[in-house]
Structure 1
Amino acid sequence: MKSDVPSRLFQIPELAFLVASHLTKSDISRLMRTSQQMYQTMTLAFYHNLSSSFHFIHKDSGFLVEDSQGLKALARNIQHVKEWDTGIFFFNYYYHASAPFRNNNNNNNKNKDNIAPTAVPLADPPWPPLSALAQIFAPGRRDDVYELTALPQMSLLTRINLNLEWGPLEANCRYPFPDFHSARKTLLRICEILRLLPRLCQLDICGLVIKDSGSARLFTSTMWEMTQLRRLNITLSVRGSYHGIRTLLFDNLPPSIERLHIGGTSSHVLGDYGGVEADNSNYRTMEAGQGLARSITKRANLRDLALDDWQESTTMEQFLSVFTRCPSLKTLRLKQPSAPAGVDGTDIGRICPDLRDISYDGSSDMNGNDKWPLEVMETLRENQMESLEYHSASHCRLDDATAVKTLLRHSSSLWQIKIISPVTSSAVRMILETCKALEVLQISRSTVELCDAIASPWACSKMTSLTLSIKISPSSSPPGTEFVPSYLQEPPTPLSASEKNIFTQLEVFYRQIGKLTGLRHLNIDRTEYSEHGSIVGRSNLRDRPLPGMLILSTNRAGRPGFLDLLGGLSKLETVEGAIFPETADRMMSEFTREFTWICKHWRSLRQPDFLPHMKPRRFVIYEDVAELQKSLKWPLPTSVLMSDTSFSSLPLEIVQLIADHLDQYSLFQCSLVCHAWHSTFESSFWRSVQLSPYFRFDNASPSLEALTRNLHHIRQLETSDPTLVHLLAFHPAALNQLQSLDLYLYDDKTSFFPITDSPEPGIALGNNIQAISRILEGCHNLQVLSLGITDCFTKADKTVAFQEIMSACATGSLESIKLYFETQDPGFCYRNSSRTIISNHVQNYQSDVNQQQRLPSFIALQDVFIRGSTNHMHSSTLAFLVRCPNLVRLEMDSVDDCVLFDLADTLQAFCPNLVELVWTDNTYEDEYIAAVLGSSRLGWRVLKTPWHVGFGPLSYEAVMRSAETLEELKMSAWGSSSSEVRWRFYLDMLCSARNLRILTGLDGQTRSMHESTIEVHAEKAFKQHIESGGGRTWVLGSLMKYLGMQVIGVPRPDVVCRDNGTPLRSWMVDELDDSRRYEVQRWIYEQLGRMTGLEELALGVVDICLEDVGDYMPEEDVNDEGISLTKLEDDMEEDGWLNRLINYQSLEFSLESGLELLSGLKVLELLDVKSTAHRIGVEELEWMHVHWPKLKEIKGLVTERKWAGDGEEGIKVKQDVEAWIAAHPHGIGSSYY
């Protein structure tokens, strides 16, 4: 049993990869040699990240490509490389070594997967492989001719870190690649490689040289095609205007960029790398404003922006244009910007209202234009800022008034404050007293008065890093007079009154620090700064140690010591500043009581400066320090004996990952193994509690007692039992940890507590409203709330207590809320009622909006789900959305149409970040639907609105306004408009939505009789493309993951009858030009072929739901072989319902029709051609086996092709296909074999 645990452990891919991420390459290599299974498991982790920086090759360097065998191993497994860190040396090697594969890919002559990694000669000049580097730099080497080892393309790369800065070894290499010093040639090679990486999502380039506008255009055009790129980090060297290249990048980078970092200088570039100009090209100076034809004025997806070394002077318009382009910024980092005089930070705060992190380094700006980052904080919503890093070069102090308007305004949300600038001592006191969420505090170039540091208890109990400079006056050990203070001399001198006062204050100060139990980094010094931030007196920290800090308290009079007050700092790793022993040499002997105490209490402490003869490695702690002192002398050995590792000693994140893969029964069994396992798994077992709607607690049941004991472990609770609700209401200690709450109460059943035993007088135990409000008031960390608002939530005046419940919710932590309304409020009648009732409802809604505006906002709420009923909901249930300024996703069902116009105005005015809408209903008119669809400021990113039969021209127009931003679109049964109007809209969407990832009409297994899906008429679309001169081309590209639609209207002269041999009906097919049979299909294939990231392609007909089939077919016609679609079509036609259940004018998917144009779909996993007239045979399957290596299944593959009129040929094709599938049971693609 024991030996079976690791094998099961490493069968979980996520867990195996997590374990491998903590191991070195050597450790992973040793694991791979243990067994064949471990080799297969760890191969992906071993090659996941490739580091190939150039350096001298040492004997034991472990460099992956140091010899030809390493290169061949890399070539065999290069498809596993996802992350690549490299310098320009190996980048050039890879460029030339992968040339055969790039040429083969461009010419489409052979399948690149069939090319074996072998050695190919490289001519003019010859260049050795890396295995010969030792000979290159060895004395007396020979000038031999070597060969390169060919490397396939790393087509699955997701991250590249490319360093183009040359070291002295690379610059002096006598065997350079052709033009390896040319910045222009290097840029061309970079662009060529990047164009072949469709999955790249993170790119870091250091030392990129842009010397003219042509180079800038080449680079930006390449970036534009990288539609999956999310993070871009570039360090530039620019000839001409740095502002010009920055503008080009802003305008021409793909809209998918979420994090952008542009660094570098605008210095004049005289030469190429290393000062060598390899070619004599006449570079033209790049001028600002030379953009490309395409450009993006606003980047809705950009959340993180960093601009470094921006020292070029700019105008106010240029400066503000940076922020105008990025209205959704959350993180802003500026290093040495040259801000124009008079810049107002409030303007930036209004342009970017979602800013949360600001990092500003104005250390080189001596013009005093560095107050604007603080002014930004004054404009943002209260308690929105999370991190501030502020470095100012000016002598203007951050005073109390500024601290109140900026730091105190965000005291509940700031977790990091780093200020390298003069700050008043009272302002630092405000930070310590009010910023309760603070984890990192660094105050430099400022001195804090000791009296201010101890004026009030610190609110920042979560601190992990603290850096302060404390002023202790007068000094207890004046520098330069005597090294040992008077109170430490023998015999000790009694303390004076002033010294007693100082040590009394120091004791309070040290107690404050001792309460920071999560502290990892502590830096306290006694350097004194002037009002302008300059150091007063000497700055040697060893001359001014903190009095009594590293001394244990004793019973001796006049000898203060406070080290024992810091015993709670068990996580402390580093101590810096003036934390030194008060001895003549400022060193601590290992034979003192203080040393023993530190070894026992500060177990995580790394190399401290005051301990002798220790090397800079982790300070190893033993349980028995006395035994350690007897047996060991400094320095400590690099390794210590450790006890056998048990399951309970694994890192918490690994234990949690394992627990997440276990069900409740398995967790229960694990907790019974032993006491250690019980402690490990008990919290995971009780983390999620889900009770059936039919489950009720017995007052004396053991399960209730067990639940009561473990309430503090519960993080997720789902129940409909009022007993449990009231139990939680009177256990407030358990509510602080609750993260998810799902309540659906059906009745007013009273609590199990007798009324006489009420834990707290004044609480009606049978009142669910009060109980739930009490629970919500105690859930300070609640993130997800789901409530079923039923009749038992109705107050005495017959109104719903929704507003009371929402007022009790924590506004700072709630992230998602789901509301289900099933109340039958007699004050309102059914929807679509009289205008009088609608008018009254609108007035109530507007009144509730005004009332809700006065309440605090849900700053973390991003996801809201609302489901109504057939009756009108109370107006407050929608008006609360005005309190959701950061709402991103809204899902609605059965919402009142009488308030839709006001709801649309509310969403547009108060929810600026709303980009996702899921709206399921079918009773609204066109103008109502269009109003809601026009409520997104940034444009919809996700839009799912099935079953809207009222869709019309206004709704279509509203959707098209978001075509550029849409990433996921689901639409079915849209509108009663003609099919001509609908398919024109579908075609407009295909020609406009360049960022689309998912497009589907019916994503289920079945559909109802009235549901329709997306249909594209192939011949009409092709004609429009020709008539427009090629302008009506689909823009869907490599971002696409799922495409579900029907391609109809393909000329198919080979289809001569129906699937049952009867003649085709006129409504089943269109009159088409048969001469364009292959021309139309090849054009459709070209459009689909650009979707290189496509994983599922569903072009088949969705089955009809069996419940609907029963209305048209007798039960005896539905047999084990399925439904006869032709018989169903006939039965429906008799009832006047024309519904094509088989697409006879579909794509053939045959090689003859142009299937080879889809060879780029390398990640396709599923193809659906169900109920279509396809011609996929064995020849096509062999082609798919090679070119679609990940294809798992083809739905609707097997068919007898009865529609072709040749029964015998169709039966033979069916038998051949079935035999081929039987020979390939694991999948169709080659990756499964």
Structure 2
Amino acid sequence: MADHSPPSISNLPQEVFEIITSNLSTRDLAHCVRVNRTWSDLFLPQLWKTIEIRDRTDYNRFNTHDTLKALLRNCHSIQTLHTCNIKWIWALASMTTRCRNLRSLTLVRDHNALSVSSELVTLPPRDLEASFARQAIYVSSALPILLKQNRGLQHVKIEGFIFHPRAGCRTLDYILRSLPTQSLDRLDIKCKSFLTSKSPADDIDSAVFQDGEDGDGQEDDRPYALKELTLSGRIESSDALVAFLERCPRLESLILRSVSDVTLDQLSAVLRKHCPLLSRLQWESENCIQGDAEIANLLDASSSDSGRGWKSIQLPFMLNFGPLSVQALLRHASTLTHVSANGWGSIASSDIQTLLCSAPNLESLNGQLVVHSTNDGRVAEMVLRAQDIMHAHASWTGTSSLKHLRLMIHGVPRPDVKCDHKGRPFPHPLPEVTPSYSLQVQERVCQQLGAMTQLQTLVLGRPDINPKGVIELAERLVRLHPTLGALVREHQYQCLELSLESGLGLMSELKELRSLDVTRMAHRIGVAELEWMHVNWPKLETIQGLFSHRLWEGHGNSDWDGSEAVQDWMKAHPLGVGSSFYN
């Protein structure tokens, strides 16, 4: 006899049930738990599956005796834990038979939350600092226990207070020896500084590190599964980190934030020898002081032999990025797909030209403008000089696959530019050339750009990043280095005009172009050019920096009155520039 019982949520397949619960908020899940005992059994594990304590409100809600009891009852259901609560780490470490299903663990010291017991706030400053230090060390002794009992962890992020300077290196060593390496995919370690540990006679008790140091070792001798490593802080010396990386042959991605020279030297050597799959480097630093040789050594950490090497490189502003670094970068040209730089202090235009001519798989070249100045007073940005394009015999082999290009092309002769963007004469006039030579240069540049048939984003202008800072820096540099006026001004005057008369028609094959940026460029895009783009660039959505009054032609000397016509054309095409939006 057929079962005609009404459908029930308890009869749903588990994968369908999890899809439903993944779209419910914590409040929704809490309401479901309260419906009845059956629903409580179903929804309670989902309610505890992800626990995040990110701010003071969360901390206060979870920092109660009842919540801690509930944690201990349901810790077997927790898979994702993001916490700044010291007590929780101790409590979970004590549940060695139940808390074994963590997949993601993030331990941070959130400045917006209370990360120590509330009673400590009444202590004198010196006692408060000692209490912070002691709690940091005790947490760092409990954390390895938690790591060892959760062998299924895939992502671990640890930062801040547990790496107290007095025991930072020992803490790091202890944690690295306790990581569940066979399943761990991502590891993120952040601290201000790892200093050399003091002796056991310190006022901070080091005995907490003794328990477990000779206990469980790694699971076996198989290679570790780690694919992404993020390091932040000064690691003056860590044999454990070196030993750890020696067994990470699957490492693909390295993310660095403000590391010391010692750390960089250690990493370069061990990565080059033991991590053959390393292909992605993301280096973030507000003040990169490393020298040319140190930068080059890190770029050589990925093997460039047998088709291997860096695929994606993102580097900060580097004043000392010099010849050695350039050569190290170019050794990976055949494998590079994404290159991003926040201004390279010493990279020459010819080096950029070489990269474009030797990178057949390049998909993105992002030369960002940053508020730094180089040794010769220029604003730090990736600049390609038009003369290098003119004199080069090779074509840009990487352009056929390029999808995103952000690059300043400078040195285009523009005899039509007489004044700055406000109509003021230049204190040092631009070089005088004939209109025919200007046309020849622009056509050559447009021809090279026109070969980028897969291009989706083209940024030739100077978009707003920190407009006030950029403008102030530019004006200050003009005063200090008047001979470099054309380089440091906020506007570009020796640039492509992008008119039909100057070679725009040579870029008709950019059928995939979605976005064009000509901000602060002395361009000549008018209604005729917009009509041409409408037909030839059917997917083009926006043109940043389009509107211009062309005051750089000089007051009273301009015969162009199309500013209002351009605005009217754009208003008549509200969906985008390209024709595909109107089919």
- Give the TM-score normalised by structure 1: 0.40
> Using the alignment, how far apart are the partners of 1:765 and 1:991 within structure 2?
53
- Cα 1:824/1:864, change in 2 over 3 Å: closer
1:1082, distance to aligned residue in structure 2 (A)? 2.6
1:808, distance to aligned residue in structure 2 (A)? 1.2
Counterpart of 2:454, as a letter, is G
Counterpart among 124, 137, 143 of residue 772 in structure 1: 143
What's 2:49 paired with?
Answer: 687
What's 1:1198 paired with?
Answer: 547
Contact 1:817 1:864 survives alignment (8 Å) = yes
Q: Cα deviations across residues 605-647 of structure 1 (Å, max 9, x unaligned)? A: xxxxxxxxxxxxxxxxxxxxxx36xxxxxxxxxxxx9877777
1:1036 aligns with 2:418: no
> Using the alignment, how far apart are the partners of 1:1210 and 1:660 within structure 2?
62
Residue correspondence of structure 1 range 367-516 to structure 2 within 5 A = none
1:1087, distance to aligned residue in structure 2 (A)? 2.1
Counterpart among 431, 441, 445 of residue 1080 in structure 1: 441
What's 2:301 paired with?
Answer: 935
Contact 1:696 1:721 survives alignment (8 Å) = no
What's 2:127 paired with?
Answer: none
Gaps of 5+ in 1: 1-626, 629-640, 753-763, 829-851, 1026-1031, 1113-1127
Match of 2:398, SS?
Answer: coil
- Cα 1:1198/1:925, change in 2 over 3 Å: same
Counterpart of 2:149, as a letter, is G
Counterpart among 484, 490, 495 of residue 1146 in structure 1: 495
Contact 1:1166 1:1194 survives alignment (8 Å) = yes
Counterpart among 77, 84, 97 of residue 713 in structure 1: 77
Counterpart of 1:775, as a letter, is L
1:868 aligns with 2:217: no
Contact 1:742 1:785 survives alignment (8 Å) = yes
1:1211, distance to aligned residue in structure 2 (A)? 7.7
What's 2:569 paired with?
Answer: 1220
1:659, distance to aligned residue in structure 2 (A)? 5.4
Counterpart among 729, 732, 736 of residue 100 in structure 2: 736
Gaps of 5+ in 2: 120-134, 199-216
Q: Cα deviations across residues 31-80 of structure 1 (Å, max 9, x unaligned)? A: xxxxxxxxxxxxxxxxxxxxxxxxxxxxxxxxxxxxxxxxxxxxxxxxxx
What's 1:1012 paired with?
Answer: 380
Contact 2:85 2:115 survives alignment (8 Å) = no
1:750, distance to aligned residue in structure 2 (A)? 7.7
- Cα 1:1131/1:944, change in 2 over 3 Å: closer
- Cα 1:900/1:702, change in 2 over 3 Å: closer
Residue correspondence of structure 1 range 312-323 to structure 2 within 5 A = none
Contact 2:538 2:579 survives alignment (8 Å) = yes
> Using the alignment, how far apart are the partners of 1:732 and 1:1108 within structure 2?
54
1:1156, distance to aligned residue in structure 2 (A)? 2.9
1:735, distance to aligned residue in structure 2 (A)? 3.5
Match of 1:822, SS?
Answer: strand
Residue correspondence of structure 1 range 797-946 to structure 2 within 5 A = 799-823=169-193, 825=195, 856=221, 859-869=224-234, 872=236, 874=238, 876-898=240-262, 900-921=264-285, 922-937=288-303, 938-946=308-316
What's 1:1124 paired with?
Answer: none
Residue correspondence of structure 1 range 1046-1125 to structure 2 within 5 A = 1046-1066=408-428, 1069=430, 1074-1103=435-464, 1105=466, 1108=469, 1112=472
1:1165, distance to aligned residue in structure 2 (A)? 1.8
1:1209, distance to aligned residue in structure 2 (A)? 6.2
Contact 1:873 1:896 survives alignment (8 Å) = no
- Give the TM-score normalised by structure 2: 0.80
> Using the alignment, how far apart are the partners of 1:985 and 1:687 within structure 2?
51
- Cα 1:750/1:1227, change in 2 over 3 Å: same
> Using the alignment, how far apart are the partners of 2:89 and 2:527 within structure 1?
63
Contact 2:570 2:577 survives alignment (8 Å) = yes
Match of 1:999, SS?
Answer: strand
1:1022, distance to aligned residue in structure 2 (A)? 1.2
Match of 2:534, SS?
Answer: helix
> Using the alignment, how far apart are the partners of 1:676 and 1:1185 within structure 2?
61
- Cα 1:744/1:1201, change in 2 over 3 Å: same
1:1176 aligns with 2:525: yes
Match of 1:742, SS?
Answer: strand
> Using the alignment, how far apart are the partners of 2:142 and 2:442 within structure 1?
65
Q: Cα deviations across residues 372-391 of structure 1 (Å, max 9, x unaligned)? A: xxxxxxxxxxxxxxxxxxxx
- Cα 1:1058/1:883, change in 2 over 3 Å: same
1:920, distance to aligned residue in structure 2 (A)? 3.2
> Using the alignment, how far apart are the partners of 1:1100 and 1:857 within structure 2?
51
> Using the alignment, how far apart are the partners of 1:1226 and 1:658 within structure 2?
36
- Cα 1:952/1:1131, change in 2 over 3 Å: closer
What's 1:578 paired with?
Answer: none
Counterpart of 1:961, as a letter, is R
What's 2:361 paired with?
Answer: 995
- Cα 1:1170/1:1149, change in 2 over 3 Å: same
Match of 2:352, SS?
Answer: helix
Match of 2:580, SS?
Answer: helix
- Cα 1:932/1:765, change in 2 over 3 Å: closer
What's 1:187 paired with?
Answer: none
1:1197, distance to aligned residue in structure 2 (A)? 1.0
Counterpart of 1:860, as a letter, is A
RMSD over aligned CA atoms reads: 3.7
Counterpart among 358, 366, 391 of residue 1023 in structure 1: 391
Contact 1:790 1:822 survives alignment (8 Å) = no
Contact 1:740 1:785 survives alignment (8 Å) = yes
Match of 1:1091, SS?
Answer: coil
Counterpart among 339, 342, 352 of residue 969 in structure 1: 339
Contact 2:414 2:438 survives alignment (8 Å) = yes
1:1053, distance to aligned residue in structure 2 (A)? 2.1
Contact 1:811 1:856 survives alignment (8 Å) = no
Counterpart of 1:1078, as a letter, is L
Q: Cα deviations across residues 1018-1057 of structure 1 (Å, max 9, x unaligned)? A: 23311233xxxxxx21112342221110111222222222
Contact 2:136 2:161 survives alignment (8 Å) = no
> Using the alignment, how far apart are the partners of 2:574 and 2:312 within structure 1?
37
Counterpart of 1:862, as a letter, is K
- Cα 1:654/1:1086, change in 2 over 3 Å: farther
1:1069, distance to aligned residue in structure 2 (A)? 4.4
Counterpart among 784, 787, 791 of residue 155 in structure 2: 784
- Cα 1:651/1:1171, change in 2 over 3 Å: farther
Contact 2:510 2:537 survives alignment (8 Å) = yes
> Using the alignment, how far apart are the partners of 2:494 and 2:76 within structure 1?
63
Contact 1:789 1:822 survives alignment (8 Å) = yes
What's 1:722 paired with?
Answer: 86
> Using the alignment, how far apart are the partners of 1:736 and 1:1210 within structure 2?
76
> Using the alignment, how far apart are the partners of 1:853 and 1:902 within structure 2?
23
> Using the alignment, how far apart are the partners of 2:42 and 2:567 within structure 1?
52
Residue correspondence of structure 1 range 184-333 to structure 2 within 5 A = none
1:1229, distance to aligned residue in structure 2 (A)? 2.5
1:675, distance to aligned residue in structure 2 (A)? 8.2
Counterpart of 2:49, as a letter, is R
Q: Percent identity?
A: 34
1:692, distance to aligned residue in structure 2 (A)? 2.1
Counterpart of 1:1062, as a letter, is R
Contact 1:1001 1:1014 survives alignment (8 Å) = yes
> Using the alignment, how far apart are the partners of 1:731 and 1:941 within structure 2?
43
Counterpart among 351, 364, 372 of residue 985 in structure 1: 351
- Cα 1:861/1:824, change in 2 over 3 Å: closer
Counterpart of 1:1056, as a letter, is K
The number of residues matched between the two structures is 530
What's 1:1134 paired with?
Answer: 479
